[in-house]
């Protein structure tokens, strides 16, 4: 038997690899941001991204792809969903 290869993606925000595929999804592809983001990052920032370091990483990524930055919410945080 040949085992099914593990499939991982890298979270844009925390740069950690997470399972993505073969019945295990520890994160999501966010089409609007064209990025994979892991579940802990999504859950930790459900009401918006506030960490300047991670916001910079996200904005650099969007700039690279020519995607406009998301509008900050009422708290001045960046929505991920
Ligand atoms: Zn993450």
pLDDT in tens, 15-52: 999 999 988 999 999 999 999 999 999 999 999 999 99
User: Is residue 19 one of the residues assigned to a domain?
Assistant: yes
Range of the domain at 53: 8-65
CA of 1 to the centre of ligand 1 (A): 33
* Upper half-sphere CA count for residue 31 (Cβ side, 13 Å): 0
The alpha carbons of the chain give a radius of gyration, in whole angstroms, of 14
Structural domain contains residue 41: yes
Number of domains the chain contains: 1
- Residue 18 Cα, ligand 1 centroid: separation in angstroms? 8
Stated pTM of the model: 0.87
**40 part of a folded domain:** yes
Element (H, E) at 14: none
Q: CB under 8 Å to 21, separation ≥6 — which residues? A: 7
Residue 47 included in any domain: yes
């Amino acid at each position: 038997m040949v085992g099914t290869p593990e499939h991982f993606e890298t979270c844009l925000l925390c740069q950690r690899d997470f399972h993505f595929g073969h019945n295990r999804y520890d994160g999501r592809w966010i089409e609007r941001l064209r990025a994979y983001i892991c579940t802990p990052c999504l859950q930790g920032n459900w009401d918006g991204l506030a960490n300047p370091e991670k916001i910079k990483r996200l904005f650099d990524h969007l700039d690279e792809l020519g995607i406009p930055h998301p509008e900050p919410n009422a708290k001045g945080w960046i929505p991920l969903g």
